[in-house]
Amino acid sequence: MTWELELLPEAEDDFDRLPRREQDRIVTQLAALRDDPLHPGTRQLSGNLRGGFRARAGDYRIGYCLDEAQGVIEVWAIGHRGRFYQVAERRMKS
């Protein structure tokens, strides 16, 4: 099954601010997520981010949730690992 991929506006903004090389890595990882959103290398988040998942793309992280009934991957954050979790927590609260 191929999942539908939805980037929230905040995630699109995150993506647009990345260097081109990192954008290419993110696109590759997003393509892999469409085929298998729980492939090795992804992790379920815990604590305040419970219910979400993250995937690695080099030093960057992609935060997303799954709507299994609709077959949708909702990407809500993309960012450098040093700031990703702080941004992700703010976005999950809103």
Average pLDDT per run of 10 along the chain, which is 94 residues long? Answer: 93 96 96 94 92 95 95 96 92 75
**The two three-digit tokens of residue 10, written as one number:** 């905040």
Output the domain CATH number for residue 27: 3.30.2310.20
| pTM of the predicted structure, to 2 decimals | 0.93
> What's the structural domain count of the chain?
1
Residue numbers of the domain that contains 47:
4-93
Give tens-digit pLDDT for 16-43.
Answer: 999 999 999 999 999 999 999 999 989 9
**Alpha carbon separation from 68 to 15, 17, 40 (Å, rounded):** 24, 29, 18
